[in-house]
Amino acid sequence: MAGQRRVLDIEDCMIGTDAVRLGAKQARKDARAKMSSFKRGATLLVRETNVPKDDPQGDVSSIPAADLVKDYVLDFKGWVTDVVGELKFRYPASSFFQNNASILPAFTGYVRDELNQWSRRLAAEGGPGELRHLIDAYCGSGLFGIACHAGFDKVLGIEISNESISCANDNAKMNGIDNCDFLLGDASKLFDKVDTDPRHTAVIIDPPRKGSNPDFLDQLVAYGPRVIVYIACGVPAQARDINHMFSRGAISIDGAVATVETKPSSVYEVVSIQPFDLFPQTYHVENIVTLVRKE
């Protein structure tokens, strides 16, 4: 009825992991005990984490990922440890990390394979040669830069959140990776910090759902990395951004480019499009588009 509030008790989440479902039971119990103190509702947090088997509060940094066990976090001020293959990523429970840990090894592995295969192909084709540098824009706590570091001389990540940059550098150290450097800064000014040869550089962009912005995209094209991997949770925004590049004459489709007054210094081909279903039972997908610069 109008003006009334009712609480609908969700007893279980059938698509949740075992740890999340167990945490939800405790969260329901806590909410019932505090119900009278909720004046305007409440936001509850339930996140899966990985902890030492014999000491749930213990330090995970020195323990192999395979030896950790699943647990849950309810405290917004707590910390989460996610495991992706043999890698560990630690970050505040209230911050963003890719959803659906079960698919992350395949998800990050696809990006890594795309970069590696194009590095080999470009080396075999002659010209400038293989990819040697990787730039991770919108890097967050370092997921893609760290997962894809192998084979590169240097990985540079950038993020506007000081907390995320601290996590990314700590995560690289925790995983014994010494070719990653994560810097605080706005992705729109990323290329002020870049001194690598674009002919040997790949760029990963993984913006928020709203997508990137024309200023960054124009700077990206002007810099002209050999390979761009665009990861998107907002596919309409990704399509808009790629269309922006096309409208600037920076993307070739079947050999044709848009007619523009000033030709861009770099022109790309879309060589692959691969969606991943990180959000089951919804219409949302993550989508990965790989673009390679034409020589």
Catalogue the active-site residues.
233, 286
31 backbone dihedrals φ, ψ, rounded to 5° = -65, -40
Residues 6+ apart with CB under 8 A from 236: none
| Closest CA relative to residue 138, chosen from 194, 186, 84 | 186
| Closest CA relative to residue 159, chosen from 207, 197, 90 | 207
Rounded alpha-carbon distances, angstroms, from residue 238 to 12, 231, 292: 34, 8, 16
Rounded Cα distance between 162 and 155, Å, is: 18
Which residues are 68's β-sheet partners? 52
189 backbone dihedrals φ, ψ, rounded to 5° = -115, 20
CB 84 within 8 A of CB 147: yes
